[in-house]
């Protein structure tokens, strides 16, 4: 009730604002917009001042590091102000040459390396401007079962789709994983797929320029004969255009599937069907789309064990539900261990704040999953962990005794307790600490209550 009223008010407010502010300017900009694009050239939409400016703001907002020329996003504004005419002219005449991307390696969760390709900040603006115009065009043709990198489509909704499939009796899943997907995209095929929807040579040319701009790996230049850079603004869109062909094939074959970037799950009703599908789709991907299927990682199995977008499925009385997979659970717990570990230097307030923002984000994402028990255990563990931390802190300052009295112990009791020599963990569990540093006091100090937060988020959904 309250909710709908709130949204109504907000909608009314917005309607009012738009009516008040822009009756005239709105009409004018529509006219001029049509004028600019009356010949229907995508090129002019991309190079439109407004579009380029949006692209610039977007790149600047990200605050990402610079590319091979070392220009930062702070320097970007002044540079563009100075050179925008030349830049636009170069783009229009197809004489614009994107710079090579900068090779940077970052660790993946599994320990291996991810090879980023970081374009120049200027190139990022151009890519973004192009992406902004291409995205709405391709959104119209993309599959309803594709979720990754797409506006208005969340990982959570992909997971919900999976749950729905399971509840429809599809209890086996073919989990396909592509090896270094972006790096293996075939240029010619990609351009061909783009061409099916956009015939304008200027666009195709510009995309190819970005694909073939090469890589600077340290002092060495490397050609880019295949792949779209992990770090390019249009790369995710291009990746979806590429695998849209897979979506079309899966749809043609009548499969139930969900795709998130290169993570494609096909749902079937028997293991044998799964094996058959795995074989033929692998064939299709490698022969027709020329991408590498990760033989070890891809498999047919049960959604109850599989990790998809951080979730796996659990099964209740007669229906399935999502829940956080073991891996993310372990990961977040060891993150909390790390946060509460470095005892010296950081204040308790900072630590509690750090825990709060981390866990708010985490629970927010996983809130569509079942995890009440996990969070209750985590709450308990965390409280002990913090008591331990406080105890240690008191020791450092040498005020255990005073602190205990302040929390309600008599001087005699405090004296006895202060002199005990137990491990921190046992102290944290001990009755004295539990009584003095109560849950309530921890909460007042700012320790977040995970299961409570979880319930309140669930109540809204």
Partner RNA sequence: AUCAGAUUCGUGCG
Are residues 142 and 151 in contact, defined by beta-carbon separation less than 8 angstroms? no
18: Cα within 13 Å, side-chain hemisphere: 7
Give CA 315 to chain center in angstroms. Answer: 27
Give residues 294-353 in contact with ligand DTP (rule: CB under 6 A): 294
Q: Which of 233, 262, 309, 409 binds Mg ion (CB under 5 A)?
A: 262
SS3 content of the chain, % helix, strand, coil (to 5): 60, 10, 30
Residue 131 binding result from ligand DTP, RNA, DNA, none, given CB thresholds of 5 to 8 Å by partner type? RNA
Pairing of strands 299-301, 172-177: antiparallel
Q: Is 231 left (phi over 0), alpha (psi -120 to 50) or beta?
A: left
Nearest of 162, 165, 174 to residue 276 by alpha carbon = 174
Pairing of strands 172-177, 263-268: antiparallel
**Least distance (Å) from RNA to the CB of residue 106?**
4
The two tokens of residue 199 are: 């015939």
**Least distance (Å) from RNA to the CB of residue 371?**
16
**Per-residue x/- track, 360-399, RNA (CB under 7 A):** xx--xx----------------------------------
Q: Which residue has the tokens 């079962």?
A: 145
Segment interacting with Mg ion (CB under 5 A) among 7-15, 148-156, 257-265, 362-370: 257-265
Q: 165-191: string of b/e by CB count within 10 Å (b at 16+)?
A: bbeeebbbbbbbbbebbbbbbbbebbb
The two tokens of residue 362 are: 């985490």
**Least distance (Å) from RNA to the CB of residue 406?**
31
Q: Which of 6, 10, 415, 422 binds DNA (CB under 7 A)?
A: 10
Interatomic CA distance for residues 65 and 52, integer angstroms: 20
Segment interacting with RNA (CB under 7 A) among 114-122, 166-174, 331-339, 376-384: 114-122
Measured from the CB atom, the residue of 246 and 309 that comes closer to RNA is: 309
**Least distance (Å) from Mg ion to the CB of residue 179?**
6
CA dihedral sign of residues 143, 145, 148, 154: positive
Based on the shown chain and the rule CB under 7 A, indicate whether residue 357 belongs to the binding site for DNA: yes
Residue 59 binding result from DNA, Mg ion, RNA, none, given CB thresholds of 5 to 8 Å by partner type? RNA
Segment interacting with DNA (CB under 7 A) among 9-17, 136-144, 248-256, 384-392: 9-17
Q: Which residue has the tokens 């005239």?
A: 24
Based on the shown chain and the rule CB under 6 A, indicate whether residue 181 belongs to the binding site for ligand DTP: yes
Judged by the rule CB under 7 A, the positions of this chain that interact with DNA are: 10, 14, 17, 54, 57, 61, 63, 148-149, 155, 236, 260-263, 307-310, 328, 332, 335, 357-358, 360-362, 364-365
Judged by the rule CB under 7 A, the positions of this chain that interact with RNA are: 13-14, 17, 58-59, 62, 64-65, 102, 104, 106-107, 116, 118-119, 124, 128, 131, 135, 148-156, 230-233, 235-237, 261, 360-361, 364-365
């Amino acid at each position: 009730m309250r909710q709908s009223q709130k949204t109504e008010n907000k909608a009314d407010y917005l309607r009012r604002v738009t009516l008040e502010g822009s009756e005239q300017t709105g009409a004018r900009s529509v006219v001029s917009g049509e004028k600019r694009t009356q010949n229907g050239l995508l090129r002019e939409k991309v190079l439109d001042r407004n579009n380029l400016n949006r692209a610039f703001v977007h790149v600047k907002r990200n605050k990402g590091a610079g590319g091979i020329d070392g220009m930062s996003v702070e320097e970007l504004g002044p540079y563009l102000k100075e050179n925008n005419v030349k830049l636009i002219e170069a783009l229009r005449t197809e004489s614009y040459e994107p710079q090579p991307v900068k090779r940077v390696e970052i660790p993946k969760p599994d320990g291996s390396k991810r090879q980023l390709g970081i374009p120049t900040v200027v190139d990022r603006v151009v890519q973004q401007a192009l992406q902004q115009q291409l995205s709405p065009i391709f959104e119209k043709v993309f599959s309803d079962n594709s979720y990754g990198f797409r506006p208005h489509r969340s990982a959570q909704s992909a997971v919900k789709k999976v749950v729905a499939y399971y509840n429809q009796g599809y209890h086996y899943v073919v989990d396909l994983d592509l090896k270094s997907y972006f790096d293996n995209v075939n240029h010619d095929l990609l351009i061909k797929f783009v061409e099916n929807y956009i015939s304008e040579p200027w666009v195709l040319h510009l995309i190819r320029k970005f694909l073939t701009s090469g890589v600077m790996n340290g002092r060495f230049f490397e050609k880019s004969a295949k792949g779209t850079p992990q770090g390019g603004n249009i790369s995710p869109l291009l990746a979806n255009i590429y695998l849209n062909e897979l979506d079309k094939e899966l749809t043609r074959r009548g499969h139930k599937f969900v795709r998130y970037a290169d993570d494609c799950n096909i749902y079937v009703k028997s293991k044998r069907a799964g094996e058959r599908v795995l074989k033929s789709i692998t064939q299709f991907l490698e022969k027709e789309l020329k991408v590498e299927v990760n033989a070890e990682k891809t498999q047919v199995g049960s959604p109850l064990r599989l990790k998809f977008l951080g979730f796996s499925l659990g099964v209740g009385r007669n229906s399935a539900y999502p829940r956080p997979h073991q891996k993310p659970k372990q990961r977040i717990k060891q993150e909390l261990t790390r946060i509460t570990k470095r005892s010296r230097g950081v204040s308790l307030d900072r630590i509690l704040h750090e825990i709060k923002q981390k866990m708010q984000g985490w629970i927010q994402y996983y809130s569509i999953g079942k995890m009440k028990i996990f969070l209750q255990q985590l709450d308990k563990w965390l409280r002990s962990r913090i008591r331990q931390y406080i105890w240690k802190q008191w020791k450092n300052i040498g005020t255990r005794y005073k602190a205990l009295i302040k929390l309600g112990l008599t001087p005699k009791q405090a004296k006895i307790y202060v002199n005990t020599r137990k491990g921190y963990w046992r102290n944290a569990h001990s009755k004295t600490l539990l009584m003095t540093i109560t849950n309530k006091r921890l909460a007042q100090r700012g320790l977040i209550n995970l299961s409570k937060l979880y319930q309140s988020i669930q109540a809204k959904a």
